[in-house]
């Protein structure tokens, strides 16, 4: 079982739909992240949670709504998205906000490929 699991892997939705992306980590980490990966752009940090508290909301439109019910699960609720929101959404986790002890490493899921029609 991989450390960080994301579902669904692919999602196609219309602009009026409501859907959710799910992330689950099995690593016992305390920090979880949502990133947006678009072609030819740096990874964009969207949200950061530490011990289930949101500590960063990086000027993300309100049509994206995160939820962290416990330290193992992270959701991204999607509502009235735009075609430019089509991207790969990556979830990551780390031991603390400073990364993982000794490495500063983040552990990423495989991503959810979102297409907005």
Partner 1 sequence: GDSVTQMEGPVTLSEEAFLTINCTYTATGYPSLFWYVQYPGEGLQLLLKATKADDKGSNKGFEATYRKETTSFHLEKGSVQVSDSAVYFCALRRQTGANNLFFGTGTRLTVIP
Query: Binding residue for partner 1 (CB under 8 A) from 74, 76, 78, 106?
Result: 106
The answer to whether residue 104 forms part of the interface with partner 1 (CB under 8 A) is: yes
- Report how far residue 44's alpha carbon sits from residue 25's, in angstroms, rounded to the nearest whole number: 20
The answer to whether the beta carbons of residues 47 and 61 sit under 8 Å apart is no
The C-alpha atoms of residue 101 and residue 8 are separated, in whole angstroms, by: 30
Given the complex with partner 1, which of 18 and 57 has the nearer CB atom?
A: 57
10 near partner 1, rule: CB under 8 A: no
92 binding partner 1? (CB under 8 A): yes
Q: List binders of partner 1 among 20-59 (CB under 8 A).
A: 40-43, 45, 48, 50, 55-56, 58
Under a CB-based contact definition with an 8 Å cutoff, are residues 101 and 94 in contact? Answer: no
Instruction: Establish if 103 lies at the interface with partner 1 (CB under 8 A).
Output: yes
- Tokens, residue 32: 């979880």
């Amino acid at each position: 079982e991989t450390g960080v699991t994301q579902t669904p892997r692919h999602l196609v939705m219309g602009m009026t739909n409501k859907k959710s992306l799910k992330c689950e980590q099995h690593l016992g980490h305390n920090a979880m992240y949502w990133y947006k990966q678009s072609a030819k752009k740096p990874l964009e940090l969207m949200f950061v949670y530490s011990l289930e508290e949101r500590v960063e909301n990086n000027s993300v439109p309100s049509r994206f709504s995160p939820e962290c019910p416990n330290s193992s699960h992270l959701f991204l609720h999607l509502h009235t998205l735009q075609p430019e929101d089509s991207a790969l959404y990556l979830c990551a986790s780390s031991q603390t906000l400073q990364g993982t002890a000794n490495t500063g490493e983040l552990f990423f899921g495989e991503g959810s490929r979102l297409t907005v029609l």
